Amino acid sequence: MPKVLRIINRFNLGGPTFNAAYLSKHLPPEYETKLIGGLKDESEDSSEFIVRDLGLDYLIIEDMRRSITYSNDRSAYRQIKAIIKSFQPDIVHTHASKAGFLGRMAAIQMKVPVIVHTFHGHVFHSYFGPLKTFLYKSIERYLAKRSSQIIAISDEQKRELVEEHGICKPEKMTVIRLGFDLSKFQTNMEEKRNRFRTFYNLQKDEVAIGIIGRIVPIKNHPLFLQTIAKVKERSKVRIKAFIIGDGSDTADVYGFAESLGLQCISQSGTEVFTDNPKHASGDNHPDVDIIFTSWIREIDFAYAGLDLVCLTSLNEGTPVSLIEAQAAGKAVVSTRVGGVENIIEHGKSGLLSDISLSSFSNNMLRLIENSNERALMGSEGVNQVMKNYSYIRLAQETAALYANLLPSD
């Protein structure tokens, strides 16, 4: 029975945990998987409930954290080597940058037969200055040479990594799209919509617009806020915006919203899905423009209650929020970055924008004022993601890759 050691950056809420969890759960039974990962940041919500709900065993390496710290990283590297020595994996499969560096270096040192790495995103633009970017590219090129195969999660990401950044040759990179269990975004959606909109005191004629994810610079929340302010000036349609998530920039983003003259409140959405939810404080603030909800684990309730989902990122791999939004039948307005074009067909399942206020606000205004177009795009999105982003397909394609890479007896 081949053994797979699967390593993720950290157990924080996001695409890599879902990807690793579904692979660990649904690979064919001839594979044995051990799942390990680092410690989430204080500003992030834990994703441990995902792996627990799937009945998976997992191990947290507390010294493997998002920040680069020599003592912690050295300790995490040693712990991964010890796990490899004890578990004796045939395959080490790492997910995202920190796990990819420490995990692959340990696997190389321990002479693991097969080493696979998945890029969920990359840090080769819009994160760091030229010198640090050059250093990270050099490290990734070295690790790619020592890896058995590299996985990109979209065709566009593969093009960027191969053609723009020269990480490896095209024949060494395989595209395997993310996979999820999207059934909850199709179940009892009317009831969930009523719960969410009642909780936040949304009126029937209010268009609810959401952006979902970490509140960090790369996600470019200021563009979302500027767009809300611009649309409020140009449209007579009543709108209310939701920033769902948390992160290092939350306080700054809140302050920026207020500087634009937008009325803001912070109101957790953790009670939306309880049997007897209390009304949010928005009940007493009918003129509020922006509601900061922090993380909502039962995110299907939020998608059900929203009318439009946005993404303003400067750089992306394959954004999970847009896949989930489409599964819930919601139209999307997004910046045209990374793998977004592989999941949003412009004019059919959503609208893609330049990273500019005029482009993004024009697209948002178009969909705010046209409910029929929103509905048509939502229907098109459901068909697209349910076909292409199944966890069953993810597990099958990954198992086939493993079989091709494992040495023959």
279: pLDDT strictly greater than 60: no
Do residues 161 and 85 both lie within one domain? yes
281: pLDDT strictly greater than 60: no
Residues 380-401, mean pLDDT to the nearest whole number: 92
Give every CB contact of residue 183 below 8 A, 6+ residues apart in sequence. Answer: none
Domain that holds residue 376: 183-388
Residues 24-41, mean pLDDT to the nearest whole number: 94
Give every CB contact of residue 22 below 8 A, 6+ residues apart in sequence. Answer: 54, 179, 180, 181, 391, 394, 395
Do residues 398 and 380 both lie within one domain? no
Do residues 134 and 196 both lie within one domain? no
Residue 346 DSSP class: B
- Please report the pLDDT score of residue 47 as a whole number: 85
Q: Domain with 340 in it: what CATH number?
A: 3.40.50.2000
Do residues 33 and 172 both lie within one domain? yes
Do residues 220 and 109 both lie within one domain? no
Residues 228-251, mean pLDDT to the nearest whole number: 95
pLDDT tens for each residue of 90-104: 999 999 889 999 999
Do residues 110 and 234 both lie within one domain? no
127: pLDDT strictly greater than 60: no
* CA 380 and chain centroid, separation: 21
**Phi (first) and psi of residue 230, to 5 degrees:** -65, -45
- Largest Cα separation within the chain, whole Å, is 69
Do residues 291 and 352 both lie within one domain? yes
Strands 58-61 and 32-38: parallel
Do residues 254 and 121 both lie within one domain? no
Quick one: 131 exposed, middle or buried, by C-beta within 10 A (0-12, 13-18, 19+)?
exposed
pLDDT over 70, % of the chain: 93
pLDDT tens for each residue of 332-360: 999 999 889 889 999 999 999 999 999 99
**Phi (first) and psi of residue 162, to 5 degrees:** -85, -50
282: pLDDT strictly greater than 90: no
Q: Binning pLDDT at 50, 70 and 90, where does residue 277 land?
A: low
269: pLDDT strictly greater than 80: no
- Please report the pLDDT score of residue 41 as a whole number: 82
Four-CA torsion 328, 334, 337, 343, nearest 10 degrees: 30
Do residues 157 and 241 both lie within one domain? no
**Phi (first) and psi of residue 295, to 5 degrees:** -80, 140
Do residues 99 and 167 both lie within one domain? yes
315: pLDDT strictly greater than 90: no
- Of 15, 10, 53, nearest to 389 (Cα)? 15
Do residues 141 and 270 both lie within one domain? no
Do residues 281 and 146 both lie within one domain? no
Q: Binning pLDDT at 50, 70 and 90, where does residue 158 land?
A: very high
Tally the domains of the chain. 2
Residues 174-188, mean pLDDT to the nearest whole number: 93
